Structure 1
Amino acid sequence: MEIYERLEELDADKAEVRASRTLFGLGFTPAMQQKKLKDFSGGWRMRVSLARALFIKPFMLLLDEPTNHLDLDACVWLEEELKSFKRILVLISHSQDFLNGVCTNIIHLHQRKLKYYTGNYDQYVKTREELEENQMKRYNWEQDQIAHMKNYIARFGHGSAKLARQAQSKEKTLQKMMASGLTARVSFNHTFLLQTFFRYSSDTHFIYKNLEFGIDLDTRVALVGPNGAGKSTLLKLLMGELLPTDGMIRKHSHVKIGRYHQGHLTEQLELDLSPLEYMMKCFPEIKEIEEMRKIIGRYGLTGKQQVSPIRNLSDGQKCPVCFAWLAWQNPHMLFLDEPTNHLDIETIDALAEAINEFEGGMMLVSHDFRLIQQVAQEIWVCEKQTITKWNGDILAYKEHLKSKIDKQTHDI
């Protein structure tokens, strides 16, 4: 009886019709359905594999990026088909629209842990943002409390008897907080995820084709490659200043990006203001002029330079104003496009030290081999419409360039 029931469920008497309908939905014309499998490309064979999985009406259907080899028509058909799937469906997909149409639950895998959300992808994003926002509020409140108590203990722990008792009380409170467990800072997995093509207009060549990678807050990468290969273009795409010609760029909604580029010296700065006035205007929460003077002074701009109109400063003196402005935004990730232009050797070393102390991610475009060697953990090469990771450090890449030049010279 179980076999009869299963045959009835599978519509066994209509098996050929059902198989044909499934194949047609995935783009196979009647003529294509009669061809040998060996005559199809790998992409079409993947469609056959998908059709087979759907055809047997399994108790559990596991799909890994099922839309990768499908055109829009087939994607729409598959979405409608899966909406009515009666049993367990688990799928991996980077298509937000597809996930919205099919899924009733989302499982987020992060740092080897699974977290479950009800609803489609849009609902998952909304819920997760709310939870992370609340978590960050709690984290920031706790860190402020800890900093305040530590400061009080340091200042008054050895003062008068009354103040010392209060300091001891705060120390006990601090120990209790630490013992009960502190709220973790929200850690992001992929800050950015790219699957994209880009060119500036329909009559120009593609700068990037089928570019696909993810970057996160552990990324410390230098982008290298010939001029015109698309290094600065990539940073503009990530910032949203340029839109991909095709594909998508996903950015985590809570990530704050700090970007430095040469345009900062003329576009960002208000030239009629002094560095001190400009920074006080940008960060009104800093009330004390002396405190702001110290902030700017850390970046090498001191004395009269702080109160002179920015337009009277050299480019080398304007750069520290930009770095101070950038750092005080407290970004999660830095995009630095040729930051060493106009800087002297000592300032470049100071910049390298500041970057290494920075706790977030970084993408650097630079022709300064020493800076790259000091701060970059990975080298990515931009050329031939794509990006590849260089297996080695920047000095090995430099030797590669030397060999390339020697070969070109020899060929001439």
Structure 2
Amino acid sequence: MVPGGRSGQQRRRLYGTCGGGAERARSMPGGAADCADGAPRGRAPPGAGDGERCHWPGRRGGGARARGRGGAVATEGKRERPVRAGLGSPERGAGGRAGAGGAARAAQRAGEHPREEPAAPCAPGRGGRPAGPPGRGNRGGATRAGQGQRGLTAPVAPSGVAPTRAMPSDLAKKKAAKKKEAAKARQRPRRVPDENGDAGTEPQEVRPPEANGTVLPEVDALTKELEDFELKKAAARAVTGVLASHPNSTDVHIINLSLTFHGQELLSDTKLELNSGRRYGLIGLNGIGKSMLLSAIGKREVPIPEHIDIYHLTREMPPSDKTPLQCVMEVDTERAMLEREAERLAHEDAECEKLLELYERLEELDADKAEARASRILHGLGFTPAMQRKKLKDFSGGWRMRVALARALFIRPFMLLLDEPTNHLDLDACVWLEEELKTFKRILVLISHSQDFLNGVCTNIIHMHNRKLKYYTGNYDQYVKTRLELEENQMKRFHWEQDQIAHMKNYIARFGHGSAKLARQAQSKEKTLQKMMASGLTERVVNDKTLSFYFPPCGKIPPPVIMVQNVSFRYTKDGPWIYNNLEFGIDLDTRVALVGPNGAGKSTLLKLLTGELLPTDGMIRKHSHVKIGRYHQHLQEQLDLDLSPLEYMLKCYPEIKEKEEMRKIIGRYGLTGKQQVSPIRNLSDGQKCRVCFAWLAWQNPHMLFLDEPTNHLDIETIDALADAINEFEGGMMLVSHDFRLIQQVAQEIWVCEKQTITKWQGDILAYKEHLKSKLVDEDPQLTKRTHNV
């Protein structure tokens, strides 16, 4: 054996049965080369080109063989063969790749046959890998043969000379730069057309804004800020779950669902079941995570099948130059795209067949009825024909929210997610929306604080409680009845099990060490007890926390408290009259609910009574000592979001020095523990409303003017608010879309309509029936659909 060489067994054990580098051939018997990379037989060494393999030559010599993409073979050892381009045969069509240098291509273009030379060993490349001649697209070191020519041999570098790479031309550089730019463009995120909600579809290309649809720059900046805020919330949210239903099913069943937000566990190992044709009401206490769950579903952070499109109503439409009608119709992106394409092709006779296909698809989508359907939805939400053609920037946030709701109803998604859809609606629009959603035939999930609305719309109730989702069949009233029965039975079972456990433990303690017979009975009871414990015991019912809102005593002042004498009002000199010759008085025993259609002036009347607006004609006289507390929809905007509720209240009421006393005050409104010391911006909308109520109550008012106080509050909090109002010593005027709250606290119903105020002869439920009868007369189509459900 040559010194430094190895036996055959040693070589196979160390390197495997493979070919190797030429530099080891001199140390091997028979001139055989060990594999430099230690790759097993038939496997390409690291750095080899596609299809490149190493082969053990055997005892009788041979050499290392490298096969490139083109099938060309270069051998080294006793036998030398020309390298053929396997893919370059006329039968295969295209030219084979057997490596390449610039000389081969130049010779081919000149019509010369390259000279046949023996193959050279591959020079070591980067990282110790073999580096062959720089053929285009070949990392392994084969040469490039002429296209369509068979039997040509490729030139290779002589032994010991490192091959050089040909310099790319300017044209090749330009092509490479264009490819890189195209790749970067594909990787950039595409902007989704401005629409409210997540429709669960692929992003569309950005189209230039229409001439009448430009968005104001400050609005664009605010929208971007809101989007960034939503992204931060999504980043702080963690969701896990497993899809248990069939991927092609129209039902959604997810098991092992868990949801955390900022490390706080909102749901833990529960299940989400949403069946097609059902309308679900999602209920639970404020801050428990209802809106967070809807956001996770809308963003597809839970495994929802792709064929189910989702629309999640998140916020109002931004102000722009578009009209409400345009905003609603543009949300149907497929119909809008087809209409634009049909308009383009209408002038081209050559593509009339394509035009007919587009018209057939538009007919399937009822495109000719799209505008009428959008107008009907807007009318139901309170938009007159003139309002439907006004610019969106001329509307308040509440009206733009109605436009966003109209878009959600117009698009008809398979899964519709609505979070407090009755906020910013009056009683007329609430009644219309209730009748409209009754006909929804796919999957509807809504969060609402209105028991009356849940009763009218929902077929099922999902109760989010104790980090679980519990399902009940029926509307809200049926849910209350069923839950009460289940909890009563659960408590009976719980008490029975606890009695049995106590009895068996007592028996075991008394007779466990007695006579043999008593000891056997004690052992039997101990086994029975262990089986009960192992199978799981019934848990005690955990009731929701009860709140007790509180308005401090205001003291008595003699009547009249507020007198309205011949008051007329309009916003501008040439504008329409809102009120004309009003005359009435209110005292500390007043309990009035103001109702009426949109634009009738309910909120305007409260502003006139508080002095925020001055009457155009007439006079409003108020008692010199009267204090008025007004709750309105934009009171949350006055909160300092960087302060905690405790810090904010201490800042507003510096006369209260003790933190513990202020903690007790805030705790009355359902804010406890960490909620009192967390920044207000981290609280839910309902919890922010509670801070506002705490601030309002400690102003110690004589009169409460409440404008939509139930927005974002849960049902338990609304009940606590109703109890506090009934115990309040002062007067109260209420504007609300919650029929149940009005029924609980109002003694009189005043209808604001036709520039005057009239007293309704009856309760609020009778007024609701009156509104339904008006809907039948105005929208017969709605009544037909309701009867067909």
- Kindly report structure 1 stretches of 4+ aligned residues shifted beyond 4 Å: none
Counterparts of 2:651 and 2:767 in 1: how far apart (Å)? 43
The residue correspondences of 1:20-99 to structure 2 (distance < 5 A) are none
- Corresponding residue of 1:257: 628
- Corresponding residue of 2:580: 209
Of the three residues 284, 287, 292, the one matched with 2:662 is 292
Q: Secondary structure at the match of 1:232?
A: helix
Retained in 1: the 8 A contact 2:736–2:742?
Answer: yes
State the shift of 1:292 in Å.
0.8
Deviations 1:34-86 (A, max 9, x none): xxxxxxxxxxxxxxxxxxxxxxxxxxxxxxxxxxxxxxxxxxxxxxxxxxxxx
For the pair shown, the structure with the greater C-alpha radius of gyration is 2
Of the three residues 332, 345, 352, the one matched with 2:702 is 332
- Corresponding residue of 1:173: none
- Corresponding residue of 1:405: 775
Q: Secondary structure at the match of 2:729?
A: coil
- Corresponding residue of 2:596: 225
State the shift of 1:192 in Å.
3.2
Tell me the amino acid that sits aligned with residue 393 of structure 1.
D
Deviations 1:320-376 (A, max 9, x none): 111111111111010000000011111111111111111100000000000000000
Counterparts of 2:731 and 2:629 in 1: how far apart (Å)? 10
Of the three residues 721, 726, 742, the one matched with 1:372 is 742
Counterparts of 1:185 and 1:332 in 2: how far apart (Å)? 8
Counterparts of 2:583 and 2:772 in 1: how far apart (Å)? 29
Counterparts of 1:355 and 1:241 in 2: how far apart (Å)? 24
Counterparts of 1:189 and 1:200 in 2: how far apart (Å)? 28
2:678 corresponds to 1:313: no
- Corresponding residue of 1:237: 608
Counterparts of 2:619 and 2:556 in 1: how far apart (Å)? 28
Counterparts of 2:581 and 2:559 in 1: how far apart (Å)? 24
Cα gap change, 1:283 to 1:410, in 2 (>3 Å): same
Q: Secondary structure at the match of 1:381?
A: strand
Of the three residues 361, 378, 381, the one matched with 2:751 is 381
2:646 corresponds to 1:276: yes
Counterparts of 2:624 and 2:583 in 1: how far apart (Å)? 20
Counterparts of 2:730 and 2:686 in 1: how far apart (Å)? 26
Counterparts of 1:195 and 1:363 in 2: how far apart (Å)? 20
Tell me the amino acid that sits aligned with residue 688 of structure 2.
K
Question: Which structure has more helix as a fraction of its residues?
Answer: 1
Q: Secondary structure at the match of 2:751?
A: strand
Tell me the amino acid that sits aligned with residue 261 of structure 1.
H
Counterparts of 1:341 and 1:241 in 2: how far apart (Å)? 22
Aligned-pair RMSD on alpha carbons?
1.6
Deviations 1:153-189 (A, max 9, x none): xxxxxxxxxxxxxxxxxxxxxxxxxxxxxxx943222
2:571 corresponds to 1:200: yes
Counterparts of 1:281 and 1:288 in 2: how far apart (Å)? 12
Percent identity at matched positions?
82
State the shift of 1:384 in Å.
0.6
- Corresponding residue of 2:483: none
State the shift of 1:411 in Å.
10
Cα gap change, 1:206 to 1:411, in 2 (>3 Å): farther
State the shift of 1:218 in Å.
1.0
Of the three residues 188, 192, 200, the one matched with 2:559 is 188
Q: Secondary structure at the match of 1:229?
A: coil
- Corresponding residue of 1:361: 731
State the shift of 1:239 in Å.
0.9
Counterparts of 1:280 and 1:348 in 2: how far apart (Å)? 26
Counterparts of 1:389 and 1:396 in 2: how far apart (Å)? 13
State the shift of 1:225 in Å.
0.6
Counterparts of 2:680 and 2:735 in 1: how far apart (Å)? 26
The residue correspondences of 1:151-166 to structure 2 (distance < 5 A) are none
Counterparts of 2:565 and 2:718 in 1: how far apart (Å)? 31
Tell me the amino acid that sits aligned with residue 657 of structure 2.
K
Tell me the amino acid that sits aligned with residue 405 of structure 1.
L
2:735 corresponds to 1:344: no
Q: Secondary structure at the match of 1:262?
A: coil
Deviations 1:211-254 (A, max 9, x none): 11111111100000111110000001111111111111111111
Q: Secondary structure at the match of 1:212?
A: strand
Corresponding residue pairs, total: 228
Tell me the amino acid that sits aligned with residue 623 of structure 2.
H
State the shift of 1:302 in Å.
1.1
Tell me the amino acid that sits aligned with residue 578 of structure 2.
I
Counterparts of 1:305 and 1:332 in 2: how far apart (Å)? 29
Tell me the amino acid that sits aligned with residue 774 of structure 2.
K
Cα gap change, 1:411 to 1:306, in 2 (>3 Å): closer
Counterparts of 2:594 and 2:678 in 1: how far apart (Å)? 36
Deviations 1:273-309 (A, max 9, x none): 1110111111122221111111111111111111111
Deviations 1:116-143 (A, max 9, x none): xxxxxxxxxxxxxxxxxxxxxxxxxxxx
Retained in 1: the 8 A contact 2:560–2:585?
Answer: no
- Corresponding residue of 2:766: 396
Gaps of 5+ in 2: 1-554, 783-789
TM-score (norm 2): 0.28
Retained in 1: the 8 A contact 2:561–2:623?
Answer: yes
Counterparts of 1:195 and 1:263 in 2: how far apart (Å)? 30
Q: Secondary structure at the match of 2:779?
A: helix
Retained in 2: the 8 A contact 1:194–1:212?
Answer: yes
Gaps of 5+ in 1: 1-183
Cα gap change, 1:205 to 1:185, in 2 (>3 Å): closer
